[in-house]
Amino acid sequence: MSGPNILLTRIDNRLIHGQVGVTWVNHLGANLVVVANDKVSKDVVQQNLMDMVLPDVIQARYFSLEKTIDVIHKASPRQKIFLVVKDVHDALALKEGGVPIDHLNIGNMHYEEGKKQVSSTVSVDDKDIEAFKRLDELGVNLDLRKVPNEKGQNILDLF
């Protein structure tokens, strides 16, 4: 049996919002958005708010990291999955847990104290950089871009 039909995995600390829910979903032709994040998997209010952004024909699932690892391989081939995570550490946990992430889009990692800005939408600290390097070692293509029609850049080139 082949693996799950993951079209793209994206890091976006906002998770599902207009850019993800409309621009990326349409570009990819996804019919399912899976948000993998422990906190959001338990926050029904935030889930309902994110559901409102998605077109009616797009389904969303909100799983903990462990549940994502446990169920992603049971996905139907008809499910065209857009996997969204909050940060690089969630992406690394999924990859190390056996989720077949080959291509990682880095879209949004907000600036906060202790982080350095490496692009207009991405800020990182030393732990983030180490996680990106580990993903690279695991063979993941690291593609920094906000929107699909923007030229991508390997995030490692910015460190």
Active site residue 73: no
pLDDT at 55: 86
Strand partners, 122: 109
What does the pLDDT look like over 14-30, one tens digit per residue?
A: 999 877 778 899 999 99
**With 80 as the cut, is the pLDDT of residue 2 above it?**
no
Residue 24 · residue 8 · CB < 8 Å: yes
89 versus 18: the higher-pLDDT residue is 89
What does the pLDDT look like over 72-83, one tens digit per residue?
A: 999 999 999 999
User: In which region does residue 139 sit, left (phi positive, over 0), alpha (psi from -120 to 50) or beta (all else)?
Assistant: left
pLDDT at 50: 92
Q: Which of 17, 73, 89, 103 is catalytic?
A: 17
Residue 82 CB burial class (10 angstroms; 0-12, 13-18, ≥19): buried
- Please give the helix or strand (H or E) that residue 117 lies within, else none: strand 116-117
CA 25, distance to chain mean position in Å, is 12
Residue-averaged pLDDT of the chain: 94
With a pLDDT cut of 70, the percent of the chain lying above it is: 99
Domain-wise residue ranges, the chain: 6-158
pLDDT at 64: 98
pLDDT at 1: 47
CATH for 6-158 is 3.40.35.10
DSSP 146: S
CB atoms within 10 A of CB 42: 11
pLDDT at 14: 92
Residue 36 · residue 104 · CB < 8 Å: no
User: Where are the alpha helices (H) located in the chain, listed in sequence order?
Assistant: 18, 25-28, 44-53, 65-71, 88-96, 126-137
Residue 41 · residue 64 · CB < 8 Å: yes
**With 90 as the cut, is the pLDDT of residue 43 above it?**
yes
